[in-house]
Structure 1
């Protein structure tokens, strides 16, 4: 066996059967044959990503109208419930794909997403909307996790960047049109169709999955499958994530940050997450995330960077639209159009980064370039004011969007290069968990900062129009264009100053992400494929499997 040269010790799996291509040939770099059935599978995965991206980004532009129609105040929970649902059960999803198989989990995920969309579309109250968003989130988390896992089954790590770039393009297209779709439907009074339109797309996507996603599932008895389920670990991760989100969502909005109502769930959640890690490493047999056994700093850094990137991306997706609507008198549709610079800079740069990694086999330099762009872009955002020109506010998006796009793609390489291919599925489940957990922090912390700043700085006469006293950010935006001068400019400037604090926090978070990338090592991007998974319809390979012994 030819070992993988690297600057870190190679992973030492026990009794793993992998498909290894010992020489770097064109066949090795290109992985399995890319026939029309393969591209149908990739299309279905990309469509799934696009669907979740539209839902994640469209709600922000439509939310002021939805809040007004449903006479609600819990605007932060509309985003937090979706993010929570898409995060809490992701580790369980990773385990279920190993036990039940990829296709049944993907079909179940699409069904949950469609069910949640139906509940949201029929919502008669904010509580019903939040419940529907939670169900949607469950489906979205399972979809995202399954997409990453199946990509690991179908393509080698060396070529993974290209396909991750395609998924990033799908996300960016969905993220780009999402605010426009949400804003347009909200303006026309048809915001419920934001959710109902998901149903035919879900049906079409489920059909593609049924027809083409015929993937292997290793045989095991029911007893063996149940023995692999880590019920305690899943309870720990689900409960801890939920508790953390409750604390973040309530902090500074419904209760003071120093109150027991905020501190207790936050402390319980963070302790629970730490307990989950300790339990998985030292006590659980088998663990939900066996990858925790094998993490070195390079792999750990990949998870940290992925988390930080997600915090930044969620902050931009949710709160940049607020700048255009509150400070520039943009309609929801106009705000969505003005965010095109962010969406498409992410996608285009992501594809370029993925191709560069495939060609060179190197991820360190792209990683550092990505973080520099993100830090510089976040610094530029801190200069935004209510009177900043549209040209600048759009141009700044290109800088930070480029950084986000690079890290969106390259953060998985230090993780997967650190482990054997047979651990790709749980590694990707944990990867999606870290990303979705970052989305929660971006939505909730950004919302809490904005809310606190507005409550402290908006004119008292303006605040008097909102006797509920909490969660006023979205409720105030539709009123701003109707205000008389100079009162109107005073409110707009207050929003600009409040968002400045959000961008300052984003800058600090981006700097932390850059620091977390330091100390990584360049590992070889292997060309291994796990033969236990992948397509059932592919002919047997003439490449001999290699058994790696500890």
Structure 2
């Protein structure tokens, strides 16, 4: 077995990895503004498109709506394993700017899309950029503030930014969709990406590692990257088509699913034994608390059958069951803005009390209760009750978002922040692929069982696509309309039950972690005041 030197822990550019606490002057706050702006764009895009998807699907005459969300999530997962190495080998700023460029190109392609295929290609490019933005903003903030303070910034300010985007995204998406201007969901990103990138060029003057491009490329674990990307794609294909295009027991589904799972196992073995510059240093998983934290991340985003179940499927509920247009459905999801407030509170609480386990336990409990209440929602449940349940869920989700990183990083040395955060982001996004796809699959399969036969006969080509039939519900005659609305509500209740189950698994997993002291300094190697590029 060759000696392993992680590409994520190669000697950084500007001196030794000595702990340092950085001052927070005007330049720091402007850098934080640039990072939050990029994160806002990524989050806004995800949530706005979900609400506008029925209109987009109808306009493009498409049938692959699941792939519009899955392509973005899949591409994000594909790029994330590389982000730690890219940040460490090429430098934070070049990697971050590259992500913004990809996101801009993807937005332009989506805006110009004439077919669903072109839209999915654009969403894939967007996902590559969005995944990079998600990871690099997290890594950069770890260079600027200590773990002790990170809850306020990464959990608080980042969480607040993400949550505001998540709250207004459905309204923005719904408004543009109702006006027949859904393409501006993507075109508006272009000038905003230019502004964010410009701020990054001016403000993110972080150290750039020395070495030629050839030397830097040789340090990337290309074999490991290929293995994890191929395995992720294979699993996603199986989850996307399972139960919709092909039965779950068919070879079309079982073959890619088994190949993908075997591929992931092979990837882990390869990284642990043969990789010279492994994507994921094995030491990250050998610590009980750090490992349990990563497991929590997996459950937390696998409950994209939880968080994205709310972001994606609450608008579906209001549009299908309450005759709400896209704007009204978006407004009724504003209860999730509670994520922003409680995320900030959660981050501040860790800074004050120097503890993170109680907040995690409370957050999971609140999500279980909120999800449990959602399982009682029927087609005739009042809007006030449904919004109230989502607020309760949002309180728990906000706290969880702010504090979930602590058990991952607290047991590790400061210099391992990049690999830990890259793996953290990968699990978050990869599990999100499962969540988006499985949430959609659950809804489609339940609708196939519950929709009235009369409706199935009239719209057989659309029956596997919930988003494509929503615009038809409002004009249906009674009692067929009521029967279809009941079918949607009952199908969504199965999604909410999945929310409860996965959240309960997250709560159980959280008991594995230990309460540890938090680092009070950052790594001098990435001190912005030492930014000198060597060639």
TM-score for the superposition, normalised by structure 2:
0.94
Distance 1:282 1:390, change over 3 A: same
Q: CA deviation at 1:20?
A: 3.4
> Who is 1:145 aligned against?
135
The answer to whether structure 1 residue 100 and structure 2 residue 87 are counterparts is no
Q: CA deviation at 1:469?
A: 5.1
Distance 1:294 1:476, change over 3 A: closer
C-alpha distance in 1 between matches for 2:502 and 2:44: 25
> Structure 1 regions of 5+ residues with no counterpart?
1-12, 22-30, 540-550
The answer to whether structure 1 residue 213 and structure 2 residue 204 are counterparts is yes
> Who is 2:376 aligned against?
383
The Cα offsets for residues 137-187 of structure 1, whole Å up to 9 and x where unpaired, read as 000001111001101111000000000211011111111111111111111
Assess if the C-alpha contact under 8 Å between 1:215 and 1:534 holds in 2.
Answer: yes
> Who is 2:476 aligned against?
483
Assess if the C-alpha contact under 8 Å between 1:19 and 1:528 holds in 2.
Answer: no
C-alpha distance in 2 between matches for 1:291 and 1:218: 24
Q: CA deviation at 1:394?
A: 0.5
Q: CA deviation at 1:294?
A: 5.1
Secondary structure in 2 matching 1:341: helix
Distance 1:537 1:20, change over 3 A: closer
Assess if the C-alpha contact under 8 Å between 1:458 and 1:494 holds in 2.
Answer: yes
Assess if the C-alpha contact under 8 Å between 1:67 and 1:73 holds in 2.
Answer: yes
The Cα offsets for residues 21-51 of structure 1, whole Å up to 9 and x where unpaired, read as 6xxxxxxxxx311111111110011111110
The answer to whether structure 1 residue 333 and structure 2 residue 327 are counterparts is yes
Secondary structure in 2 matching 1:464: helix
C-alpha distance in 2 between matches for 1:434 and 1:81: 16
> Who is 1:19 aligned against?
18
Q: CA deviation at 1:272?
A: 1.2
Secondary structure in 2 matching 1:173: helix
> Structure 2 regions of 5+ residues with no counterpart?
1-8
TM-score for the superposition, normalised by structure 1:
0.91
Q: CA deviation at 1:538?
A: 8.1
Which residue, out of 433, 450, 454, partners 2:443? 450
The answer to whether structure 1 residue 83 and structure 2 residue 83 are counterparts is no
Secondary structure in 2 matching 1:207: helix
Structure 1 runs (4+) greater than 3 angstroms displaced: 13-18, 220-224, 291-295, 536-539
C-alpha distance in 1 between matches for 2:419 and 2:437: 27
C-alpha distance in 1 between matches for 2:396 and 2:319: 25
RMSD: 1.7
C-alpha distance in 1 between matches for 2:47 and 2:130: 13
C-alpha distance in 2 between matches for 1:423 and 1:220: 21
Q: CA deviation at 1:309?
A: 1.8
Assess if the C-alpha contact under 8 Å between 1:86 and 1:138 holds in 2.
Answer: yes
Assess if the C-alpha contact under 8 Å between 2:208 and 2:531 holds in 1.
Answer: no
Distance 1:300 1:325, change over 3 A: same
> Who is 1:441 aligned against?
434
C-alpha distance in 2 between matches for 1:49 and 1:218: 25
The answer to whether structure 1 residue 430 and structure 2 residue 423 are counterparts is yes
C-alpha distance in 2 between matches for 1:247 and 1:380: 31
> Who is 2:36 aligned against?
46
Which residue, out of 80, 102, 108, partners 1:112? 102
Deviates more, 1:525-534 or 1:392-401: 525-534
> Who is 2:275 aligned against?
284
Q: CA deviation at 1:266?
A: 1.1
Assess if the C-alpha contact under 8 Å between 2:443 and 2:491 holds in 1.
Answer: yes
The Cα offsets for residues 404-424 of structure 1, whole Å up to 9 and x where unpaired, read as 111111111011111111111
